[in-house]
Amino acid sequence: MEQREDVVIVGAGVIGLASALALLETGRSVRVIDAGRVGGGSSHGNCGTITPSHAPPLAAPGVVLKALRWMLTPDAPLYVAPRFDPRLWSWLLRFAVRCNDRDWRISARAKSAILNDSRVRLAEWVRDYGLACEFANSGEDYVYRDAHEFEHTQGEVDFLRELGVRVDVVDGPTYERIEPALKPGLAGAIRFDGDAVLRPDRYVSELARVVRERGGVIVEQCAFEGAQTQGDRVHIRTAQGELQARELVVALGAWSPKLADAIGAPSLKGLIQPGKGYSITYSSPNLVPRRPLVLRERQVCVTAWGSGFRLGSTMEFSGYDESLNPRRLDALERGAREYLHEPYGAQKQEEWYGWRPMSCDDIPIIGRVPGNPRVLLATGHGMMGVSMSAATGQLIADLVAQRTPAIDPTPYGIERFE
């Protein structure tokens, strides 16, 4: 017998579950399906920072030349594995065209709107739903050892303040007194008091708990195979049989291009690439930073929770390569040793990689599929899925409910690429 819901969501990561929760609050019945398990993708192992400060996109002036120089350095922070991949090179060309000041500012404003909304909304969710995910209004700091790099990044400070980001610039000796976990020799730090932190795997688990408590259904090991709209229903084929829904939300993250044809959005194949990130989780060292850090020259993120300590980040474009590259993991530890007195804990708990859904303009793709309005996309969040989760869920719910959205949906529609 076919199951019927108001909304079926494909993908039980942070975006799919946040969308489910927001939809349930509108009174819709919701079923979430996933080919694997809850939070089994890039939701699991990222550093859990909630970052309005990260509004500037990856597609920035000068990034292309830097990436070309790094192509021969397999442990570089941004690495494109040399190989014949026409779809990747097409994506990189789209990305490169946007690496100019005008498009950088347009993308930053679009990212800022959804990041700022999500920052406020996520804190409300933690409070209202009792999400036990080690959330803290921590702030975050960018830390520099290179004076030139520190000075260069300060050129973005005024623009960030225009976007509503709380920014302070601190010289090296002053910051060393503030943060004893860091070795001496700092050029300075840029501090973002409005950022926050949580433990992402626990956040996703808590979202799943609340979705189920509110009547949502989550089905794991249920692969999505395709969908067809007929009249006022979407017929959805899965590994466990057919479902019917009034609307379908596709929150497949980095797997979106692989199923683009199945949802009637073939252009996704050229708009999103999997960007591989790595992290290592340890027991906590005796001396941990007071706030999350980004060690800027090495692009290593450092996060400490009561339950553990994580080094993460890096960006690798190597397709859907499933190997856990030891050189990339070693680069995280090497970067941490350069900055921190105690760069990692005594017990290594997990080595991890995950594919982030990188859109070619570093802005998420959220909204209805042109020509198939009963199918909605919620993908392409890049490295900001956790940070943008609550706002994305609310935007999807507003679009389904056909009410005025909390933020303008225009910058996130797939139509922007036409």
* Full pLDDT tens readout for the chain, 418 residues: 456 889 999 999 999 999 999 999 999 999 999 999 999 888 889 999 999 999 999 888 887 777 767 666 777 778 887 788 899 999 999 999 999 999 999 999 999 999 999 999 999 999 999 999 999 999 999 999 999 999 999 999 999 999 999 999 999 999 999 999 999 999 999 999 999 999 999 999 999 999 999 999 999 999 999 999 999 999 999 999 999 999 999 999 999 999 999 999 999 999 999 999 999 999 999 999 999 999 999 999 999 999 999 999 888 999 999 999 999 999 999 999 999 999 999 999 999 999 999 999 999 999 999 999 999 999 999 999 999 999 999 999 999 999 999 999 999 999 999 8
| pLDDT value at residue 1 | 42
Which has the closest alpha carbon to 154: 296, 302, 12, 308? 296
Q: Residue 125 class from Cβ within 10 Å (0-12 exposed, 13-18 middle, 19+ buried)?
A: buried
Q: Per-residue b/e over 303-341, b at no fewer than 16 CB within 10 Å?
A: bbbeebbbbbbbbbbbeeeeeebeebbebbbebbeebbe
Tell me phi and psi for residue 316, to 5 degrees.
-130, 125
Q: Residue 241 class from Cβ within 10 Å (0-12 exposed, 13-18 middle, 19+ buried)?
A: exposed
| pLDDT value at residue 79 | 83
| pLDDT value at residue 413 | 97
Residue 165 to residue 141: CA distance in whole angstroms: 13
| pLDDT value at residue 2 | 59
Residue 267 to residue 414: CA distance in whole angstroms: 9
| pLDDT value at residue 177 | 96
User: Could you tell me whether strands 365-369 and 167-171 are parallel, antiparallel, or unpaired per DSSP bridges?
Assistant: unpaired
Alpha helices in 189-323 (DSSP H): 200-213, 268-271
DSSP strand E in 145-266: where? Answer: 167-171, 188-192, 196-197, 217-219, 224-230, 233-238, 241-250
| pLDDT value at residue 225 | 96
Residue 406 to residue 3: CA distance in whole angstroms: 31
| pLDDT value at residue 27 | 97
| pLDDT value at residue 72 | 67
